[in-house]
Structure 1
Amino acid sequence: MADNEQYFSSTPSSQDVRRELQVTLRGREVVVETSHGVFSGSRLDLGTSVLLRHAPEPPEHGVFLDLGCGWGPITLSLALESPESTVWAVDVNERALELTAGNAKRNGCENVHAVTPDAFAEEFPSDAGFDVIWSNPPIRIGKEALHELLMTYLPRLNHGGEAYLVVQRNLGSDSLIPWLADQLGDGFTVGKYASSKGYRVIEVLRA
């Protein structure tokens, strides 16, 4: 099974062969570890690059979420840019979570919690929310599963919170914007924030 077919499996069947990568995350050079069986395990994904290039500077403090963290480039970007924040990294892929936690540790990010959705539901207070959500969501899990995933986490934006999602234009980014606006309803504003290299960055704001 190819890497891109199994990255959203909880336990990838491919051999866990670790490799080091040097990547630039919002102007910071970092060394990370990646492996087979995780999303974009051989490089920094183009969509993630677009998101990191265009998303505005996060606040210094707050509770942040990287939804579908992979090996952790978005998590690391948030944690390094706002070291006094708390960053939750959520993924179904246990190998990805192990890599994210390890990459956070090796880059001095003590403010990262890498967890499965089930563990998140147990550990994160039910009455708490997020100030920032950044995500390159797993589009290839299918529309229904994607919609369920987004509506599990986006409504948990705090008042004044903001989310930035990167979605490939030919994989439905433009139809996702009105759908999110309709589902989230009053109190949320959804729109196109940026476009680059065939991707849209979608902005979700909670008033």
Structure 2
Amino acid sequence: MSADHYFTAEPDAPLRRGEIEFTVAGRDYRLAVASGVFSAGRLDPGTAVLLRKGGLPGAAAEGTFLDLGCGYGPIACVLASEAPRVTVYAVDVNARARDLATENAGQLGLADRVLVRSPDEVPQDVTFTEIWSNPPTHIGKAGLHGLLEHWLQRLAPGGTAWLVINRHLGGDSLHTWLVGLGWNVERVASQKGFRVLRVTGKSAD
């Protein structure tokens, strides 16, 4: 089994393509996947819980969203499909994942609103109305904390972040850590071993 994950910039695994199908909010999706990209065999259970239990935007939603660690793009594609006025930055370090996310957004007619980028390609002045993420817990606590600190500070005033974390991989301790940093955190769901957290603006210092 390849050791490549979605935090590998250039996967070494030979390219083996496939497709997965899933349904969210009554819409059916068929997305291209490939080896060397996170959860290429199926929609990751954590992502599925997040999309089922998080507060998906409605058709009237506006603003700029972030899918952090987008992989082949399931979250970004769902957000852009549900909210046709929203622009979604789909960000991943994995070049193969970005290629797939670009392809999948294009196939769904979302290429003009799903902006697939590496982390360094996101303009510094962009802030996000919403951040959605099934973050890479396997990079370790320090790496995960650094990742979330960097991107959460780019939430726009009044913005919301939706995170899903495996309870056995530190979901509850992450909740406590975020509260300790001053964020308002609500656990909105706990399902199949995953915590769905709603994170909103930091309390005033």
Residue 61, structure 1, aligned to residue 56, structure 2? no
Q: Structure 1: give runs of 5+ residues left out of the alignment.
A: none
Say whether the 8 Å CA contact 2:64–2:127 is kept in structure 1. yes
Distance of 1:31 and 1:128 partners within structure 2:
30
SS at match of 1:20: strand
SS at match of 2:36: coil
SS at match of 1:194: strand
Aligned twin of 1:89 = 90
Q: Partner amino acid for 2:93? A: V
Say whether the 8 Å CA contact 1:97–1:114 is kept in structure 2. yes
Q: Partner amino acid for 2:7? A: F
Aligned twin of 2:151 = 153
Q: Partner amino acid for 1:30? A: Y
Alignment TM-score, normalising by the size of structure 2: 0.92
Aligned twin of 1:17 = 16
Residue 52, structure 1, aligned to residue 47, structure 2? no
Aligned twin of 2:139 = 141
The CA deviation at 1:127 is 3.4
Distance of 1:7 and 1:149 partners within structure 2:
14
The CA deviation at 1:18 is 1.4
Structure 1 vs Structure 2: percent identity of aligned residues?
A: 47
Distance of 1:63 and 1:7 partners within structure 2:
23
Aligned twin of 1:197 = 192
* Greater helix proportion: 1
Say whether the 8 Å CA contact 2:6–2:92 is kept in structure 1. no
Say whether the 8 Å CA contact 2:80–2:113 is kept in structure 1. yes
Give 1:108-147 correspondences, 5 Å limit: 108-109=109-110, 110-120=112-122, 124=123, 126-147=124-145
How many aligned residue pairs are there? 199
Distance of 2:98 and 2:39 partners within structure 1:
14
The CA deviation at 1:73 is 0.7
Aligned twin of 2:99 = 98
Q: Partner amino acid for 1:10? A: A
Say whether the 8 Å CA contact 2:63–2:86 is kept in structure 1. yes
Root-mean-square deviation (CA, aligned residues, Å) is: 1.4
Q: Partner amino acid for 1:119? A: E
Q: Partner amino acid for 1:77? A: V
Aligned twin of 2:37 = 38
Distance of 1:113 and 1:7 partners within structure 2:
18
Deviations 1:137-169 (A, max 9, x none): 000011111111001101111111101100000
The CA deviation at 1:6 is 3.2
Deviations 1:122-144 (A, max 9, x none): xx2x3331101110000001111
